[in-house]
Amino acid sequence: MTDISAKGLTKPAQVFAYFAPLTLFIYLAAPNAYLIDIATTFMLKDRLHASANDVATFRLLTGMPLYFAFVFGFARDLWNPFGFRDRGFFLIFASLTSIVFFWLAFNHLTYAGLAAGMMLAMLSYRFVGAAYEGLLALVGQEQLMSGRLSALWNIIASVPSIIGAFASGWVAENLTPETTFILCGMLALVIAVFSLWKPYAVFGHTYDKPQARGTNFVGDLKRLVRHRAIYAPVILIFMFQFAPGSNTPLQYYLTDHLHASDAVYGEFTAIFAAAFIPVFILYGWLCQHVSLGKLLLWGTIITIPQMMPLALIHSATTALWLAFPIGSMGGIFAGAIFDLAMRSCPPGLQGTLMMLVAGANQLSYRGGDLIGSKIYGLSATNGFLYCAIATTAVYALMLPVLWLIPKSVIATADGESNPALDAEVMAEVAEVT
């Protein structure tokens, strides 16, 4: 029987109606989102006269809370602020992030001050991210919607990326740092207000079901280490995000070597992000008809040569033309890896695993950026070629990692019952009760 509410929406539709706007504001306000990330790099480059290596180092260091995101995820799984669970994290830490942005807005711009402020914003916002991703994974597991929620998550999260990438160049050229940080502070406040909404389709008995049951600090750590399914998604996302040359080196190559405007780099990033959206929409349909195991295999094969077109970039115009095909090649794998992560969460540890994945994501993204900056400095003419070859080799090595995934996790399509996985969950829950 189809679950229809009084408002005429199925339960999945009600879940989508909650997570769609929440995802939008989560990614608009994130300190590592394109809007603020690219804007701060131009503050460093144009106002503080930082070098490419300085900017990459800044990104790497201010991202420290992102690399240790599992700590925030573990806190989410153990702590229940105000008795609100995930909504409590939204209320407290989105408000704190807003305060940090306002502090940056009204202080003199220096390298040290900017680094300290962004570090504090990243630190506070990690609790918001842990609550959001933990809740998303928990609902995905309980309602057999991990594939569709992965598609929704990626589609909606792409919108702020596109908006932020297109707007970042304009922001850098037309808005003062003070105005930029005030805008970010106001966006963070929206999430704090959003915490007051508690739809039954999402929160009704969600924390009472077997998938939400944990133990204590020591017990949960032991369960996490023993849970074989957690390792593959962490390794795969780390390898997938390794793309030296696609961030800071490309930014400097376009603006300094090819004499393009600051806006061109933002436009490239926006087109790249937009290219994922139609593939994510396709994934939302495919995941209901094809097992996750097949989607992971297909996505990996398509992704392997993704970055080779970077070697062909010799002008700003060429870069913009290549942005769409480069982006679209990673869509299936991106949807599948987050689908896999949600399915792989141990009971009661959704925040921990999702933040382990998020930490590996950001560490690889920023570490690869730093490595790419060093490669870029070795050869102005062949740097992109070297980076593309390195990325392709790493992507090819993802194929054998797929064998680490327990077959029970990826055997079914989205929405299909999985008796083998259900039995594993119940067995683990029985051990902790």
Closest CA to 121 of 195, 185, 76, 74: 185
Mean pLDDT score, 359-374: 83
Domains in the chain, ordered, with CATH?
A: 20-197+226-432 (1.20.1250.20)
pTM of the full structure: 0.85
DSSP string for residues in 234-292: HHHHHHHT--TTSSHHHHHIIIIIS---HHHHHHHHHHHHHHHHHHHHHHHHHTTTS-H
- CA 130 to chain centroid, in Å, comes to 11
Q: In degrees rounded to 5, what are phi and psi of residue 413?
A: -85, 165
pLDDT at 52 over 80: no
Q: What is the C-alpha separation between 287 and 150, in angstroms, rounded?
A: 10
Mean pLDDT score, 128-142: 95
pLDDT at 361 over 50: yes
Mean pLDDT score, 428-432: 69
Q: What is the mean pLDDT of the chain?
A: 86
Mean pLDDT score, 11-22: 92
Closest CA to 413 of 313, 231, 288, 284: 288
Compute CA distances 336 → 17, 50, 96, 326, whole Å. Answer: 22, 38, 33, 18
pLDDT at 169 over 80: no
pLDDT band at 110 (very low <50, low <70, confident <90, very high): confident
- Identify the weakest region by mean pLDDT among 188-192, 221-225, 349-353, 364-368: 364-368
- CB-based contact 308:246 (threshold 8 Å): no
Mean pLDDT score, 140-160: 92
- Identify the weakest region by mean pLDDT among 3-7, 30-34, 239-243: 3-7
* Amino acid identity for residue 225 in this structure: V
Q: What is the pLDDT of residue 1?
A: 38
What one-character DSSP code corresponds to residue 196? T
pLDDT at 6 over 50: no
- Identify the weakest region by mean pLDDT among 119-133, 222-236, 249-263, 324-338: 249-263
Which residues partner with 10 through β-bridges? 4
DSSP string for residues in 291-347: -HHHHHHHHHHHHTTTTGGGGG--SHHHHHHHHHHHHHTTHHHHHHHHHHHHHHPPT
pLDDT band at 148 (very low <50, low <70, confident <90, very high): very high
pLDDT at 225 over 60: yes
Mean pLDDT score, 290-296: 96
Q: What is the C-alpha separation between 139 and 143, in angstroms, rounded?
A: 6
Task: Write the CB contacts of 245 (distance below 8 Å, at least 6 apart in sequence).
Answer: 307, 310, 372, 375, 376, 383, 384, 386, 387, 388, 391
Q: What is the pLDDT of residue 215?
A: 80
